[in-house]
Amino acid sequence: MAAAEVTFDALGQAWRFKFGWGALCRLEERYDEPFARILLRLFPSLSLEDLADAAKIRSAALDLRASLVRDVMAASVAPGPITATVAEELIDELGAERVMDIIRSGVAGDLTSPNSEGGGAKPAPKKESGTSRNG
């Protein structure tokens, strides 16, 4: 699983959301469930395939559990992991819609979510190699 990264600015510094193995393990340990079930708890009215659809995510907002959104942010934001209190401060500053775009982009790997401050959610730069393994 290649985790997408989403960068954003809040609370006077740059942050990176990465729903990678470390975040998955922290959430599995906290909830004592496999990560796919945790994702379905985050969006109970959606299927795993629906996570790539921003419109479906927005329509599922009534099903969101705020504490799980906070826990996903706390487990996935770097530099971190961060505390639940810092995650709450980030969510308060960014707003729920932007946070859900960040989570959706990081989880689904779709890095095209709009950023209200002038840029899109940005992937971490890829390292390019000038050599080929095939000669």
pLDDT in single tens digits along all 135 residues of the chain: 456 789 999 999 999 999 888 998 999 999 999 988 887 777 777 777 777 777 877 777 667 788 999 999 999 998 877 999 999 999 999 998 899 889 888 877 633 334 433 334 444 443 333 443 343
- Classify residue 114: in a domain, yes or no: no
Total tally of structural domains belonging to the chain: 1
Residue range of the domain that includes 33: 5-108
- Classify residue 100: in a domain, yes or no: yes
- Classify residue 88: in a domain, yes or no: yes
CA 12/CA 54 separation, integer angstroms: 27
- Classify residue 77: in a domain, yes or no: yes
Write the CA distances from 79 to 14, 16, 51, 76, 111, integer angstroms: 9, 7, 25, 9, 20
- Classify residue 118: in a domain, yes or no: no
- Classify residue 135: in a domain, yes or no: no
- Classify residue 125: in a domain, yes or no: no
- Classify residue 55: in a domain, yes or no: yes
Q: Which amino acid is at 67?
A: S
- Kind and range of the H or E run holding 18: strand 13-18
